[in-house]
Amino acid sequence: MDSERQSSTLESGVDVQAAAFAVRDWWKRPFDLIVLTIVHIVLAPVWIALWTLIPLAIWLSDRGPIFYTQARVGKGGRIFRAYKFRSMVPDAERYTGAVWAEDDDPRITGVGRILRNRALDELPQVINMWKGDISLVGPRPERPELVEEFTRQWPEFGGRLAVRPGLTGIAQVYGRYSTHPRDKVRYDIIYIKRMSPWLDVKLLTLSVLITFRARWQGKDR
């Protein structure tokens, strides 16, 4: 019931800027499904290896849970459950609550740091992509508590909810985990205004390069 009330509050509180954008995203869902299908077929051995080795490494490191689910805010303020490989100690937010992750966050495990540098902790979100919760490219999906907080401080933050959130995007590629929310929303609004298949291809290519270089958490790209 709490999540339903929170979802209703977020949906009703979506900033009017979200509706003001002339969003033409009819191509996004077919684009995502085509790319996902091709990647899973062509790179099937890689997927099998990742889905075998990563869970094994997480479990061997501390015998804790392998997966981690978290409420996130999607298009129009709809709340969904995002799936991730656990990269922090179990019950990491027991004493801190919902807080922004930092570069040298002591809650991140050794295996988790390796996964985060390569964005491999996000791999289970392909489930969310198949379900249509998120897109390959778009604004990063945030926690309901953080969306409410940031929207109060920066009303334009609600404009991000005009489109599906994404696994990667301008803010993810050109920013970092610790990039200030005010700056992230600027990146996201730029993406929403300039959104096109060609921009998505460019951002996906850059994301693959950053992954190979293991620089998602690095200070320099």
Q: What is the full DSSP assignment across 146-179?
A: HHHHHHHH-GGGGGGGGS--EEE-HHHHHS-TTS
Per-residue confidence band for 94, with pLDDT thresholds at 50, 70 and 90: low
Report, as an integer, the average pLDDT of 193-213: 93
The label of the residue with tokens 């951002």 reads 203
Phi–psi pair at 91, nearest 5 degrees: 55, 45
pLDDT exceeds 90 at position 159:
no
| pLDDT band, residue 12 (cuts 50/70/90) | very low
Whether the pLDDT of residue 18 is over 50: the answer is: no
- CA-to-CA dists, residue 167 to 1, 96, 134, 204, angstroms: 28, 25, 7, 10
pLDDT at 69 over 70: yes
pTM for this predicted structure:
0.82
pLDDT band at 102 (very low <50, low <70, confident <90, very high): low
d(CA 121, CA 192): 25
Per-residue pLDDT of 108-118, as tens digits, reads 899 999 998 88
